Structure 1
Amino acid sequence: MINITSLLFPKRFSLLKSFSALFLIVSFIVRISLYIWSIQSIEFSFVDLIKIIGIGFFFDFGTLAYILAIYGLYWFLFPRKFYGNWLDKILINFTYFLLVFVFVFAFLGEFTFWEEFARRYNFIAVDYLLYTYEVIENINESYPLPLLIGIIILLTIGAFYVAKKQDVFVECYNNEDGYLRKIIPYGFWVIVAGVFHLYVQNNQAEIFSNRYQNELAKSGVYSFFAAYNANELDYDEFYKTQSKQKSLEIVQQSLLDNGDKILSEDNILRSIHNTGKEHKPNIVFICMESMNANFMEAFGNQELLTPFLDSLAHKSVFYTNLQATGTRTIRGMEALTLAIPPTPGRSIVKRPNNNNLFTVGEILKEKGYSRTFFYGGDGHFDNMNGYFGNNGFDIVDNPKENNSSNEFPTQRIPFTEEEVTFENAWGACDGDIYNKAIKQINIQHKSKKPFFNFIMTNTNHRPYSFPEGYINDKPGNRISALRYSDWAMKRFFTDAKKQPWFKNTVFVIISDHCAYSAGRTELDVSSYHIPALIYNLPNTKPHEVNKLCSQIDLLPTLFGWLNWSYESKIFGKDITKMKPEDERAFIANHRKLGYRKDNKVVILNELKGSKTYEWNAEENTLTKTESDETLEKETIANYQTAYELFKNNKLKIKEIH
């Protein structure tokens, strides 16, 4: 009879066998411990307990397969003649210690996570990993951190001791297992990992009517990576809800202006009506990296950081009270193109099933526009190319070597080597991006078709590097990067004014998000105020608009200025038509969902909580106040409806008839 254990774990893999046993045993202990902890929330059933253990083992086994497929690559590839030499011993001891340390930490962390959320790891845990400083500070304030680290190290050393006692290290070093002996066991784990990756979803563990049982049947580590892949938190599970139909009705009514009409009972599909002659100028949309409103002289800054942008604001329709929806570039892209309130988790730009959405691009397409996304780096970062390419935009980017292929149904145009005079980790500098844009726009102009170009800048981002010789400041800090970015924009407009398409082109300039907005536990209201302006509008005098509004409103407002009538599935509104009682802004991070009207702010949290605050703009403080039932319902309605429509594919193009 074939010994399955020996087949899957030859002598060279003895340490992997020891780790596998440790991983499965500890996973079982954690599951049973959490079950006992939650017994009052579960109606005990022996049959259900066996199911939980069985399903749990299945997912633990899949998690183990992933680990061994990755970690086992070293064990498989390392040549037999070097087994047990000094390099082999150092690598094995170090990597095994690190692996055990990480998983001991993960297993212990499951108890604190369960205490707070009564769930296995989800996107909240992913968020914790992304913002390590805040998390470590929180742990340090809540628990004796040195003691915890000491316990983890002791447990890791204990695992080492057990492995040593079993002579598994000796077996790893002293054997004659070659590639043929290792190919079957390593191949097995790779195949199992592949099957799980392709065919096993984390929610398949949810076979019970009791939420606690569903969570216990999962594997914490597997759930963590499933959440990372999905990039979202389930709104219904974690946030305050109300009748979905009531929420939809509140949103539908809030979106209607004079002459507009709802076209669907289960959607926000509506007809937008504007009077007067439609204008179809070219549109150049510049999204500035990390540009706070308070960097501009228009908002009181005296350091002359953005003299050109300030001069342009005086010649434009200048929106002085517009708020970003989030704290990341891709959240800004989502708001500006999809015009949707930010749903919990990551931006839709990074989520699965984000193709063929009803973006502003569909409205532009209906009006006969070409649509192109410009980026100075490799647009595969943060799935920008995937989002834009699968939603009808051509792509102009600066791909890394051997990564210039185009897998999207639209055109991909790379920067050439000659077009990149300076780049850092984020890609080409702003000057190069604008130069490429001018060149491409000149080509577009020859087609006699109106164009919409979304240009994403780069320079105002750490490490704040840029080509020297154009401004007096030296690279390496945000102040100098801002001045260079402003200089590059001035040169772009100087060049653009020489082109035949300039007079018939509207320029929209806005920031993706604020700088210094890294705090993730609460919302810093002042860190969402960004500049926005529309320049060169036909038949429109420059003026300021002081209405409180959101990133999601800027392009719908432009369409209003152009007198467009169209069908829409976007949440953005025409700022020009807003009445004082309609003014509002969405501000959020990965987990906190804020809704602001005047200086009153409602914040929804991931524990189904809701708090109402009064915001003091001068001191930038939030003071808890009595809840406003109407405002709270409005807040829930917008966020709940946005989540439901995206989840149920009702923001897809095919819904439009």
Structure 2
Amino acid sequence: MFKIFKNNRLSLVYFFIIQFLIISFIVRLVLYIWSFSNIDFSIIAFFKTLFFGLFFDIGVISFFTIIYFTYLILFPNKWVGTIFDKLFTYTFYFITTIILTFSFFAEFTFWEEFQNRFNFIAVDYLIYTYEVVENINQSYPIPLLLLIIFLLVFLQYFILKKQKAFTHTFSLKITKKQQLLLFIGLLIPLFFGFYISNTDAEWSKNRYENEISKAGIYSFFAAFRNNELSYTDFYKTQDLEYSFKDLKQKLITQNDTLFSNEPNSIERTIKSYRTEIKPNVIFICLESFNADFLNNFGNKNNITPNLDSLINQSISFENLYATGTRTVRGMEAIMLSVPPSPGRSIVKRKDNTNLYNIGDVFKEKGYSRTFFYGGDGYFDNMNTFFGGNGFDIVDRGRGYLFGDSFTAKRTNIKDNEIQFENAWGVCDEDIYKQVIKEADKSYSNKKPFFNFIMTTSNHRPYTYPNNKIDIPSGTGRNGAVKYTDFAIGEFINKIKNKPWYNNTVIVFMADHCASSAGKWELNVDKYHIPAIIYNLPNIEPSKIEKQTSQIDLFPTLFGYLGWNYTSNFYGKDINTIKENEQRAFFGNYRKLGLLKGNKLTVLGDQKKVSFYTYEKITNTLNPEKEDSIQLKDIISYYQTNDYRYKNGLMKLKK
């Protein structure tokens, strides 16, 4: 069968390429079978998936063979089979085979978590090696996996050895025809590098078919190159002056007053409709917490008894949506009260300090501001973002230096204050102890406080202290959710006896859902998160049914507190929004969505736009014809948001 590839200097190259293509085909087939229930199966679509996959696999292997192709073209025939020739060839083969084999294994673990080929998340994970390596080590049997990887590498070598690929490569000279063939082969990566985008694999309306059509390594480098996308280069635009004029009409309510007539300014004074109060505020941002984890939203597993109990005593948001699928996207929305940006979250971008944020409203009212995180705040640039925007830091630092240019105070959680810790940080009970300790200090100093807590326990490997709940640690998401809820119950019970409790509002909201995967380019149900405002003085418990965005939570809280303040936010007090003004923003790193009622508009890169009707009961999107009004609306929000960040209009005025 393989005689055509034998008896020449290129034997190893031929077999190496075939080996890669076969293994990649197997991986693609496994992912297809794994995701079969989410795929709109047809024979034509199946073969189309394989065709696109083969095309991108050829691109991947062409990049990996550049060095060896060049070596074979330039290496003199008289030195074929020398020690140097063998050393170079074996080094190339084993290093490349190990990398490719490892990447195939990594694709399965990444798919299990995100139902995606490698994307910008995988790129970010290269930076935060401690958290990622520890998470992998605590989630999977690493020694066994490494053993399997090396056995597979040896098996691949053994097969090529049996085919005498190395023998022929080291004993036969290269011909002019073969050199010409290799030279043509070097043109393939140039073709892919300049003319083929990863988005060319997205031929289907079914997201799973698109992802399986891609090649993991190709997707990884595409994400590495494009993790910041220029809105004006990649997305639909319109006249900027019109966008700002339209935006102001959407943001200004009856009691708001613009600061200036500058065309690109949205700075305004918010005048309250209530009497002002100044309670302490503790905001708890729940890691990866779906609305449907709660009994209130139909869950029957009884894994959130404490939150379900609090809902009945609180202001509860029944129809609230996260803006993104990662913690940094949630932080961007909460802190800055803006729609999501294409590519990277502002939390991870350069020049993201001294931005007008919710903390500045608290500062204006005389509050201290502290960010609490159970892991090392170096991860995902959190310390730089919060510290550079006026917050003190309490985290589990491991030696990374906090920027000297910031005036923020950093407190490290000590070893003797920890009962349990995993790859992502200390357990939620331990971080709440730090919150209580700092709250006691603020109370003794007669200083109102705003504490922003980012929890970590509801994250793979789903481990937590033993004997706390009836689900064993490390057995899955339900246990992590129930422990997160348990820790909340313990926290509330402990602070009820504190002298500052009656004057403290506790706010809960998720940063994002546990999974964003689904058939569609944006899956609306995967952005539905819980949010409640608990212990709010003089306000009766109620359920807010209006469609709400994550960016609206704090403007709504400020409304309940009766605060007049300066706003540069896109978020609005939900109680001032009319029925026809309801909307929610969400996206991933390439898609930007606007949901108004059941009408979803999605901006895609390459200046694409899609229109859908969202069927909430079935969680399906039905394609619709272009709606010019919706198109103008969505562009007004996202184009102005990009412009304001790029041109420093989010900055605090000196």
**Pairwise TM-score range, normalised by the shorter structure:** 0.5 to 0.7
The alignment status of 1:574 with 2:573, answered yes or no, reads yes
Alpha-carbon contact 1:344-1:593 (below 8 Å) kept: yes
Instruction: Pick closer, same or farther for the CA change 1:165–1:331 going to 2, 3 Å.
Output: farther
Alignment-derived partner of residue 320 in structure 1: 318
Unpaired runs of 5+ residues, structure 1, are 1-66, 68-82, 103-123, 133-148, 167-211, 216-220
Shift of the alpha carbon at 1:268?
A: 1.2
Alignment-derived partner of residue 564 in structure 2: 565
Alignment-derived partner of residue 481 in structure 2: 482
Paired AA for residue 238 in structure 2: Q
What are the within-5 Å matches in structure 2 for residues 158-237 of structure 1? 228=224, 231-237=227-233
- Higher mean C-alpha displacement, 629-638 vs 515-524: 515-524
Alignment-derived partner of residue 543 in structure 2: 544
Alignment-derived partner of residue 462 in structure 1: 460
Alignment-derived partner of residue 94 in structure 1: 94
Shift of the alpha carbon at 1:489?
A: 0.4
What are the within-5 Å matches in structure 2 for residues 425-444 of structure 1? 425-444=423-442
Shift of the alpha carbon at 1:627?
A: 2.2
SS at 1:587 equivalent: strand
Alpha-carbon contact 1:325-1:551 (below 8 Å) kept: yes
The alignment status of 1:589 with 2:588, answered yes or no, reads yes
Shift of the alpha carbon at 1:275?
A: 3.8
d(CA) in 1 for partners of 2:618, 2:237: 32
Alignment-derived partner of residue 507 in structure 1: 506
Paired AA for residue 471 in structure 1: I
Alignment-derived partner of residue 395 in structure 1: 393
Alpha-carbon contact 1:344-1:591 (below 8 Å) kept: yes
SS at 1:530 equivalent: coil
The alignment's TM-score, normalised by the length of structure 1, stands at 0.68
Instruction: Pick closer, same or farther for the CA change 1:368–1:271 going to 2, 3 Å.
Output: same
Alignment-derived partner of residue 183 in structure 1: none
Q: How many residues are matched?
A: 480
Shift of the alpha carbon at 1:364?
A: 1.1
Shift of the alpha carbon at 1:548?
A: 0.1
Alpha-carbon contact 1:379-1:398 (below 8 Å) kept: yes
- Aligned-residue sequence identity (percent) comes to 46
d(CA) in 1 for partners of 2:621, 2:461: 32
What are the within-5 Å matches in structure 2 for residues 341-490 of structure 1? 341-400=339-398, 402-403=399-400, 405=402, 407=404, 408-475=406-473, 476-490=475-489
d(CA) in 1 for partners of 2:506, 2:432: 13
Shift of the alpha carbon at 1:518?
A: 3.7
d(CA) in 2 for partners of 1:345, 1:649: 18
Alpha-carbon contact 2:583-2:597 (below 8 Å) kept: yes
d(CA) in 1 for partners of 2:120, 2:625: 30
SS at 2:530 equivalent: strand
Alignment-derived partner of residue 4 in structure 1: none
d(CA) in 2 for partners of 1:406, 1:362: 20
Instruction: Pick closer, same or farther for the CA change 1:550–1:405 going to 2, 3 Å.
Output: closer
For each residue in 1:18-42, what CA deviation from the matched residue of structure 2 results, as whole angstroms up to 9, or x when unmatched? xxxxxxxxxxxxxxxxxxxxxxxxx
Paired AA for residue 316 in structure 1: S
What are the within-5 Å matches in structure 2 for residues 121-132 of structure 1? 127=120
Shift of the alpha carbon at 1:447?
A: 1.6
Residue 242 of structure 2: which of 242, 246, 249 is its match? 246
Alpha-carbon contact 2:273-2:559 (below 8 Å) kept: no
Alpha-carbon contact 1:235-1:643 (below 8 Å) kept: yes
The alignment status of 1:609 with 2:608, answered yes or no, reads yes
d(CA) in 2 for partners of 1:383, 1:128: 14
d(CA) in 2 for partners of 1:101, 1:506: 52
Alpha-carbon contact 2:337-2:357 (below 8 Å) kept: yes
d(CA) in 1 for partners of 2:551, 2:625: 28
Q: What RMSD in Å do the two structures reach over aligned CA positions?
A: 3.5
Instruction: Pick closer, same or farther for the CA change 1:163–1:487 going to 2, 3 Å.
Output: farther
Instruction: Pick closer, same or farther for the CA change 1:231–1:89 going to 2, 3 Å.
Output: closer
d(CA) in 2 for partners of 1:126, 1:626: 30
The alignment status of 1:646 with 2:645, answered yes or no, reads yes
Alignment-derived partner of residue 258 in structure 2: 262
Alpha-carbon contact 1:404-1:414 (below 8 Å) kept: no
For each residue in 1:98-119, what CA deviation from the matched residue of structure 2 results, as whole angstroms up to 9, or x when unmatched? 78999xxxxxxxxxxxxxxxxx
The alignment status of 1:522 with 2:521, answered yes or no, reads yes
Q: Which structure 1 residue ranges, 4+ long, deviate > 6 Å from structure 2?
A: 86-90, 96-102, 160-166, 223-227
Alignment-derived partner of residue 34 in structure 1: none
Instruction: Pick closer, same or farther for the CA change 1:453–1:161 going to 2, 3 Å.
Output: farther
Alignment-derived partner of residue 142 in structure 2: none
Instruction: Pick closer, same or farther for the CA change 1:230–1:262 going to 2, 3 Å.
Output: farther
d(CA) in 1 for partners of 2:335, 2:491: 23
The alignment's TM-score, normalised by the length of structure 2, stands at 0.68
d(CA) in 2 for partners of 1:633, 1:437: 44
What are the within-5 Å matches in structure 2 for residues 45-60 of structure 1? none
d(CA) in 2 for partners of 1:632, 1:413: 47
Alpha-carbon contact 1:296-1:310 (below 8 Å) kept: yes
Alpha-carbon contact 1:406-1:412 (below 8 Å) kept: no
d(CA) in 1 for partners of 2:619, 2:583: 18
Alpha-carbon contact 1:230-1:352 (below 8 Å) kept: no
Paired AA for residue 610 in structure 2: K
d(CA) in 2 for partners of 1:257, 1:268: 12
Shift of the alpha carbon at 1:269?
A: 1.0
d(CA) in 2 for partners of 1:470, 1:100: 42
Paired AA for residue 355 in structure 1: T
Alpha-carbon contact 1:290-1:514 (below 8 Å) kept: yes
d(CA) in 1 for partners of 2:376, 2:91: 33
Unpaired runs of 5+ residues, structure 2, are 1-66, 68-82, 103-116, 126-155, 175-193, 198-216
Paired AA for residue 270 in structure 1: R
For each residue in 1:569-606, what CA deviation from the matched residue of structure 2 results, as whole angstroms up to 9, or x when unmatched? 11110001111011100011111111001111011111
For each residue in 1:25-84, what CA deviation from the matched residue of structure 2 results, as whole angstroms up to 9, or x when unmatched? xxxxxxxxxxxxxxxxxxxxxxxxxxxxxxxxxxxxxxxxxx9xxxxxxxxxxxxxxx99
For each residue in 1:146-192, what CA deviation from the matched residue of structure 2 results, as whole angstroms up to 9, or x when unmatched? xxx9xxx9xxx99x9699989xxxxxxxxxxxxxxxxxxxxxxxxxx
Instruction: Pick closer, same or farther for the CA change 1:558–1:100 going to 2, 3 Å.
Output: closer
